[in-house]
Structure formats: structure tokens, C-alpha cells
């Protein structure tokens, strides 16, 4: 990976904090925008939860469940969550910050992870990558032989700490409700 790629991977979270402050500062939420954003966000949370219940990090190449449609269902779920957050903020600038942040950082992260999976799983990953798109999902599930995590497991969902995404999104919605109540808005 290039030096710029390493920089973005390392600084993804650190740069996210000041950008989150900017997104909140620019937000102009209303109860309706928060509700609509929450509805979209629930779709992202559902996709992330489903993916986390299949994912056995560092153990096997997961190719079932949502991974049979896209190689990155967690990040697709995150993109949907970001869309929900943008809707909830009711701010074009906040939405643009979220989109640019996601596009820049996660495109780099997805490519890095693909390289790591290729090194770890070799031709199995190559076959998977030829069949299943990186991000935009297929319309039908791919049928692939080889390593698989099998079926959804709530224990795996918990092991992957996916509940943190739901807590974080709920916290965001509560902050937006508080901003809406401020006399400045």
C-alpha cells in the first residue's frame, strides 16, 4: 500500500472526530428529518448486523449470507448509515462531508482488505472476487465452493461487537434531537 494509503487508514478515525463536529455544527435537524434518517439508518444497521453474524474475522473466507452479494456488506451498511445520518442532519454540507469521508477512506480500506484477503486465501479469494462485486451488491447470491462461515450466528454478531454501531447511531440521533431543541435552530 502507498504511503498515502497508510496515512488514510491510520487517520480514518482520528480525522472522523473533527469532521463529526463539523457535520453536527452544520446540521439543521427537524423531527421529520431525524425520523426519516433513522428509517434509512435502520436498513444500514440491519445489513451490518446480518454481515457481522456471518463474519469470522481472520478465520475463514466468508462467502455466504450478505457476503454472497457483496464482498463488503459491512461497509455497504455503513454507507447506508451515513446516508441516514445525512438525511437526519437536514444539511447538504453535512451530507457532502459524510459522502466524501466515506468515499475516500472506505475505498482505500476496501482495497487494502482485498489485498490482505488475497494473500491469506489465494485462489479462493480470486474466484470470490471475480464472482462477487467489491461494493455494489449482485441481484442474486453467488454460489461459491470453499471456505465459508455458514449461517448467521448471534454469538458471532456479539463477538464482532456490532452492537456498537447501533449504539453509535442512536447516540447520533439523540444529539440531533438535542440540537433541534436548541433555540439557535
Contact between 67 and 51 (Cβ < 8 Å): yes
Q: Over pLDDT 90: what percentage of the chain?
A: 76
| 85-137 confidence digits (pLDDT tens) | 999 999 999 999 999 999 988 998 999 999 999 999 999 999 999 999 999 99
The tally of CA atoms less than 13 A away on the side-chain side of residue 115 is 9
How buried is residue 82: exposed, middle or buried, by Cβ count under 10 Å (0-12/13-18/19+)? buried
* Total domains present in the chain: 1
Tell me the C-alpha to C-alpha distance, in Å, between residue 100 and each of 4, 58, 92, 93, 118. 16, 29, 12, 10, 27
Give the pLDDT band of residue 14 (cuts 50, 70, 90).
confident
**Buried b / exposed e along 138-149 (16+ C-beta atoms within 10 A):** eeeebebeebbb
Q: What is the pLDDT of residue 182?
A: 81
d(CA 153, CA 112): 26
- For residue 10, is it left (φ>0), alpha (ψ between -120 and 50) or beta? alpha
Q: What is the CATH number of the domain that holds 44?
A: 1.20.120.1630
| 60-98 confidence digits (pLDDT tens) | 899 999 999 999 999 999 999 999 999 999 999 999 999
pLDDT at 8 exceeding the cut of 70: no
Which residue is associated with the grid cell 426519516?
Answer: 36
Choose among 109, 54, 105, 51: nearest CA to 82. Answer: 105
Q: What is the pLDDT of residue 68?
A: 95
* Domain limits for position 23: 3-181
Give the pLDDT band of residue 151 (cuts 50, 70, 90).
confident
Amino acid at each position: 500500500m502507498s504511503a498515502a494509503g497508510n496515512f488514510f487508514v491510520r487517520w480514518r478515525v482520528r480525522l472522523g472526530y473533527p469532521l463529526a463536529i463539523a457535520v453536527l455544527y452544520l446540521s439543521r435537524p427537524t423531527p421529520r428529518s431525524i425520523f426519516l434518517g433513522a428509517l434509512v439508518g435502520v436498513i444500514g444497521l440491519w445489513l451490518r448486523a446480518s454481515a457481522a453474524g456471518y463474519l469470522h474475522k481472520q478465520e475463514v473466507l466468508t462467502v455466504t449470507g450478505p457476503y454472497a452479494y457483496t464482498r463488503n456488506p459491512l461497509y455497504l451498511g455503513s454507507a447506508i448509515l451515513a446516508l441516514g445520518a445525512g438525511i437526519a442532519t437536514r444539511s447538504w454540507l453535512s451530507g457532502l462531508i459524510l459522502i466524501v469521508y466515506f468515499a475516500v477512506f472506505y475505498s482505500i480500506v476496501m482495497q487494502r482488505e482485498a489485498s490482505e484477503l488475497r494473500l491469506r486465501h489465494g485462489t479462493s479469494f480470486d474466484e470470490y472476487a471475480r464472482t462477487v462485486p467489491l461494493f455494489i451488491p449482485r441481484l442474486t447470491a453467488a454460489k461459491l465452493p470453499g471456505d465459508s462461515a455458514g449461517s448467521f450466528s448471534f454469538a458471532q454478531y456479539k463477538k464482532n461487537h456490532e452492537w456498537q454501531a447501533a449504539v453509535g447511531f442512536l447516540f447520533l440521533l439523540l444529539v440531533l434531537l438535542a440540537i433541534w431543541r436548541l433555540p439557535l435552530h
